[in-house]
Every structure is written in C-alpha cells, then in structure tokens.
Amino acid sequence: MKQQLTLFFLFISFWAFAQTEINWKKSALIFTPEILLGKTMEANDGFPVTKLQKQFVLNFGRSQKNNPQQWAQRLKGPKTGFTVGITDFGNLDSLGLGLTAMPFLEFRAFGNDRWSILTGMGSSYFTKKFDPETNPQNRAVTTDITWSFRLYLYYQFLSTKNMDWRAGMGYSHHSNGHMRLLNQGYNSFLVSLSADIKNPLSRPENISNETLPHYKNTVYNYFAFRGGLGQNTFALAFNDKKNVYTIAGEYGRVYNNTFKVGIGFYYRFYQHYYDYIEGNESLVQAGREFDYFRSNPWYYSTNLGVSLHGEIFLNHVGIDLQLGFNFHKPAYKMEWRINEGWDDTPRNIPDYWQLGELGTKYKIKHRISSRLGLKYYLIGMEKTPKNNIYIGANLNANLGQADFTELSLGYIYSFGFRERK
C-alpha cells in the first residue's frame, strides 16, 4: 500500500505545477522518443553476466517558456512532463525487463539553449527479481516495484522546423528504498539518441519578453515543521517492514519565490532497532558487543541530526533535497555489523561469525545522511502564503545507501517579505 500511495503522489504532484490561472497553454507540446544503450553495473559478487543494456523511452512534455509564473521565468522556461519506458538490462533470464514511469524536469545548462539537463524520479516494475532457488545470482532487486531515478545531459546537434535531434549521456538507478532486502539496486550508465517532435497543432506563439511579467528580486524568512512516517527493513533474518517515525524542523530563507535554503534538525525513532533490543536478540545479549543497548532501548533506537536543506518551488510542487549530519545514531553500528559481514547472517549469530568491519566506509555512512523527494503544497507558493501545509514523499539514505521510504506532513510559516537589491 505504501508504494502505491507514493507512486500516486509522485504522478499527481508533478502534473499539478503545470496548472495556472492564466491561460498560457499555447506553449509547445513536445513528444520525444528516445533510444538508450549502455551498461548495467554489477550489483553483487557473482552477478549474472550482462550484454548491452537497451532502453526505449517516450517523453511527453511541455515547454514552460511562456508560463508567466515566477518559477518558470526564474528557471528560464524549463520543460516538464512525464516519461514511460521499457528496459532490457542485458540478461532477460536473470534480470528481466523493467517498466518505468516518472515525471521529469528538464532545464537549460551552461547558459546555452543547445545543452540541457534532465532529472526525473518515479517508479519501476520488474518482471524478474531475486529468488534464492530460481534466481540466486541477481541480488539487486527483491521487490516487484522500486523507486527509479535518472539524471541526463543532452546536446541538441540538429534542429529542423518540426524536430530537434539530441545526443545525451547519463545515469539511471533503481532501488526499493530499503523496503526489503536484498537491495543493492541497479546502477546503469548510458548514452542516448532522441528527437523532440513538436506538435504541429500547438505551435508556440512568439511571446516577447515585454509580454511576460518582470519580477523583482525578493527574499523572506520561514519556519517549517514536519512529521514523517517511514518504513524499512533491518536484515535478511528480520526482513519484514517496520516503521520509522520522524519529527523535524528548520529555519531559512526563500529567494524569488523559487529557491529555498535552510538549516534544521531531525529526530527519528526506528522500530526495528527497538524490537531487536527489546527482543534480546543475539548481539545485545549478555556478553555480546551491544549488550549495553539493553540499558535504554529507546535511547539507542533513536537518531538525532542537523541538516542543510535546499528546495526548488514549482508553485504547488517542491523538489526537496537535504544533506544531514548524524551526531547520534548508535544502532546503525549494530546494523552495519550484521549486514556488511558474511552473507546471509542468521538470526542467532554464532560467536565465530564474521561481522562487518567498522572502517572508513562505515564512518562516513554513519555520519552523513541524505534525503531526496517531492512535496505538494496546498496553496501554491507563487502566492507567497503566510501559512501553508504540504504532503511529501521522500527516499532517505545513509549517504548513498537507502535507509527508509517516507511519507510526511508538514507546515511552513513565512515572514519578513522584502525586496532585495
């Protein structure tokens, strides 16, 4: 149910920012077929041998160049839309096919109309996944539905009246957000050939810069608070989903009703950690490495940290990015020891079992958290509302390694609006 709700939110929210009270819809409708070729990277030792990865993608988009809203003008008229595609990862027997659907945002790069960057976040369905008996080598995907992400750079090398030809290169990722183990995910690097086909029935009008509004530079402050309900799994021997509860707050500034930057804090409680400690499982038993966790299960199941937060407003929708520093997450050490040692760690761990080593990789992931997702605001941020609420869908990670998938509800209070030079 959680994956379906997240998927629904992602699709609805990205279409929502195209709505405006002003009729500007004579901006060009664009249909873009795309062929991609590349390499599926090995996700685990003994990963199946793969041939060339092949993708076919259809992008349905609209130029926001004539959109009078401030976000569209500040971002220099980006393209927004929706992508559907099919992927052959290079081994149909073990990896199968991936069917992807995601909203996207594409904007100009390097100050040049020929270069652009596309980013998208959505979901994928897989026809093959890990099975200990029939498909043991593929440890990348263990759920039917995963998160999907793509980031691509394009160059328009030929333009005609009805079509723009483009070459591109980039990165694609698929992962279930730590909703079930195993969860190495697919990482792919690909090159692309695509053509923007312009709809002849919806030619863009030649709207001059004088016709579009000219916005003054502004800035205002904000406070924001949110509560989140996430889910993840703990280890192969505890491979059921349990909740992660979050309370977070931040303070910062919004520039030109489009860009938000803030600093904040977060508090999280992991049900899996608490149940492992309360259940007196192997590593917290008397004489074992984490037996002291039993003295205060709640305390050792929590996570405290500070964050640097960035967001781009697209009226009702926010693209949400966060980088955090954990100064208290003690049970992650226990999780690392269980999951990063010998494969298939059992529930009752023998004393001789090789556990994960606490090296540099652990130290970085223990301290650095990241968060990526989307928000939908009840009132469009174009109106600079003093009070607003939002719903969010996010993927949280220990640096680049998925931690938990989250739905959140938040409140933002804005104040101190002024023009800036």
- Residue 366, pLDDT score: 96
Contact call for residues 60 and 82 (beta carbons, < 8 A)? yes
Question: Region 267-276: what's the mean pLDDT?
Answer: 97
Predicted local distance difference test score (pLDDT) of residue 277: 97
pLDDT above 90 for 239? no
Q: What pLDDT shows up at residue 183?
A: 78
As a whole-number percent, the residues of the chain with pLDDT over 70 amount to 90
Domain 2-198 fold is: Porin (2.40.160)
Residue 259 pLDDT > 80: yes
Q: Of all residues in the chain, what percent carry a pLDDT higher than 90? A: 61
Mean pLDDT of 206-223: 80
Task: Check: CB of residue 168 under 8 Å from CB of residue 115.
Answer: no
150-154, 179-183, 278-282, range with the lowest pLDDT: 179-183
Amino acid present at 364: I
The number of C-alpha atoms within 13 Å of 72 and in the hemisphere containing its C-beta is 21
Predicted confidence at residue 249, as pLDDT, reads 97
Residue 34 one-letter amino acid:
E
pLDDT tens figures, 283-342: 999 999 999 999 999 999 999 999 999 999 999 999 999 999 999 999 999 999 999 999
Contacts of 399 (CB under 8 A, 6+ apart): 364, 365, 368, 369, 370
294 or 237, which is more confident? 294
pTM (2 d.p.): 0.87
What tens digit of pLDDT does each residue of 26-82 get?
A: 566 789 999 999 999 988 778 889 999 999 999 998 888 888 889 988 998 899 989
Q: Calculate the alpha carbon distances from 277 to 132, 273, 296, 299, 328 in Å.
A: 28, 6, 9, 11, 17
CA diameter of the chain:
76
Please give the pLDDT value at position 202: 55
**And the tokens for 86?**
């099919």
Name the band, by pLDDT with cuts 50, 70 and 90, for residue 212.
confident
Mean pLDDT of 149-175: 92
* Both tokens assigned to 410: 């938040």
